[in-house]
A and B are shown apart, each in its own frame.
Chain A
Amino acid sequence: MSQTRNPSAPSSKFEGTERYVATEDLMMAVNAAVTLARPLLVKGEPGTGKTQLAEEIARALDKPLYRWHVKSTTKAQHGLYEYDAVSRLRDSQLGDAKVHDIGNYIIPGRLWEAFRSERQAVLLIDEIDKADIEFPNDLLLELDRMEFYVHETRELVRAERRPIVIITSNNEKELPDAFLRRCFFHFIRFPDVETMTRIIGVHYPELKRELLAEALNAFYKLREVPGLKKKPSTSELLDWIKLLLAEDIPPEALRTDDPRKSLPPLYGALLKNEQDVHLFEQLIFLQRRQSRQ
């Protein structure tokens, strides 16, 4: 596909990296978000590389990356700045001269850091759905205008160069419409066999062909097992292949229709739930009984 690209296109276009395979629609979403300097919201099954995307964009476009990992207790204010009142109280008790300048106790958050970056930055707001339901609303203005006001020092912080904002979500909470309207949206679909082969090629270029074919075969078969509570994802497949390589498992051992073995070797990397393992064993058992009859 590199043949089809215009070689004179500016390098500010994201086209994936040697470690990250980007599909056509993903490239379009990223480039549109970069061009218009709007946030890009990325959703998808866990383990499809949402967080990694921001890292790879920063690498591909050679920009500094600021990561803001959101937890259930994170408030929007934490991303802007925090006022460390306790330190100031302590310093005042000790008679420190620092205490007269309140600016000494304003600790910038990730958003502030990204705003004042010398070069255009990439800001990752990871797992925004983990936070309180009001969290995205509290960031509307800041992400729209890329500026905010520090009340303690009466200072307006404004981004000289609007950062590229990548927001990931696992769909645990619905995001407010007003917030969604300001973003571009991309849903990372579970990769098809073709894309998956390319992804694995990027990570394990020396992987033997038969092993890859057998591993993919076993993997997609496993994903198709009805009733699994947690389907194995791309990152789990990559881990599994790493293990297979480390243990030097021959490709023949991966054939799940092998009657001597019920589960693929090192299945622990793929199935993370004992109910799933149990279910899978039962299915294999049934299959074997049927084939014997």
Chain B
Amino acid sequence: MLTRFFYTLREAGVPASVTEYLTLLEALKQGCANYSVDDFYFLARATLVKDEKHFDRFDKAFAQHFKGIEQAFDFLQRELPEEWLRKLAERHFTPEEMAKIEALGGLDKLLETLKQRLEEQKGRHEGGNKWIGTGGTSPFGHGGYNPEGIRIGGPGGQKKAVKVWERREFRNLDDGLELGTRNIKVALRKLRRFAREGAADQFDIDGTISATARNAGLLDLRFQPERHNALKILLFLDVGGSMESHVRVCEELFSAARSEFKHLEYFYFHNFIYESVWKDSRRRHGERTSMFDILRKYPPDYRVIFVGDASMSPYEIMQPGGSIEHWNDEAGAVWMQRLTQRFHRHAWLNPEPEDRWDYIQSIGIARQLLADRMYPLTLRGLDDAIKALKA
């Protein structure tokens, strides 16, 4: 039963390993989770899932696999002697509640009704006010609100025990949407390419020792240039219009990139690349940089990153004069081709969620122009983009 569960997890994309599975079995053998689904759920999660972003997948797989199996746990409890249930009830209830139960016919009556219901009930049950199950107001089952309820499923619940995995509280943590400056920096760090260039102004200990030894012990000082990230980046950022809602994530990307790369040049554009871009949004109509200058000035070892949602009318890419701001003699697509030909290593980061891309025609066109090098602006997308830029 558990081996199947293990494979269900793996199919659901939870990267659990055999070692972890064995640990879980060992923990079960040692009696860490005693016949309660909740305990088992917590134990399995602590053992098999090592990243909170996989919690939601785990919850879904757990619900899928254990649907119905919970009844088996209930079934186990059915075999319990009456004495045990009575003890349990005594422990659960405050004196006032006990008094209430007495008013309703006493514990004996409650237990009797419970037995009757257990016999009547056929399937798993949720909600409602009669059957045994979860989340209802029936006196039996767990997670209910009836003051005289008996928790079927063993002791251990400390509050309303709606099944934890059905709440799916970790949904938001899935898939690295949480893009802080720090995360972006860590991701961008993979783009480092260290090199020693420029003036030799750092003391080189290894070189000095080696040279001194060769020099029969007479000191021979050596210097070397400082090591720094030699990667060069050209960043094109879409501003205004539909990008307004993505300002924050772009800000973060930009500030992380600024501190990470020594050679970073950035330009702004609106919707798509045309014959000129600008550096200062306040003076965007006055001080523009011609695209021909960019093509000439920066050598082809620069990596080009576009950031934009690429959501516009297809004319803005395909037609001369299609730009919504000015008259462009040549279509955006032509300019894009010139850029990608000059700079082989390029990528487009799109803050628009990936599952919406197929519904926006202009995104499809842009992807074609970029030979499919468009990546969502999430940590995973950033990783993929960096791989493409490094290649």
Contacts and interface: CB of A to CB of B under 8 A. Distances in A.
A binds B: yes
B50 A185 contact: yes
Contacts of A183: 50
What's the dominant secondary structure at chain A's contact region?
A: mixed
Contacts, number: 79
B4 interface: no
Contact of B30 (A5, A35, A175, A180): A35
Q: Which applies to chain B's interface (DSSP): helix, strand, loop or mixed?
A: helix
B66 interface: no
Given A4-B155, A181-B20, A36 B27 contact: yes
B43 interface: yes
B46 A32 contact: yes
A24 B30 contact: no
B42 interface: yes
Contacts of A175: 50
B27 A35 contact: yes
B77 to A, nearest CB: 15
B215 interface: no
Contact of A4 (B20, B26, B33, B158): B158
B27 A32 contact: yes
Interface residues of A, number: 33
A83 interface: no
Interface in A212-232: 227
A29 B20 contact: no
Contacts of B47: 32, 184-185
Contacts of A43: 52
Contacts of B159: 1, 194
B272 interface: no
Contact of B23 (A29, A36, A41): A36
A131 to B, nearest CB: 14
B42 A36 contact: no
B32 A32 contact: yes
Nearest to A172: B182
Interface string A8-48: 00000000000000001100110111011010110100000
B92 A36 contact: no
A252 to B, nearest CB: 31
Nearest to B164: A25
Nearest to A41: B50
Given A29-B42, A32-B43, A36-B26, A181 B17 contact: yes
Shortest beta-carbon contacts, A-B, top 6: A28-B42, A180-B50, A187-B52, A29-B46, A1-B158, A25-B42
30 contacts: A3-B92, A4-B91, A4-B157, A24-B42, A28-B32, A28-B46, A32-B27, A32-B32, A32-B43, A32-B46, A32-B47, A33-B46, A36-B23, A36-B30, A38-B23, A40-B46, A41-B50, A172-B186, A175-B50, A177-B17, A177-B50, A180-B50, A180-B51, A181-B50, A182-B19, A185-B45, A186-B46, A187-B52, A187-B170, A189-B170
Interface of A: 1, 3-6, 24-25, 28-29, 31-33, 35-36, 38, 40-41, 43, 172-173, 175, 177, 180-187, 189, 194, 227
Interface of B: 15, 17, 19-20, 23, 26-27, 30, 32-33, 38-39, 42-43, 45-47, 49-52, 55, 91-92, 155-159, 164, 169-170, 182, 186, 248
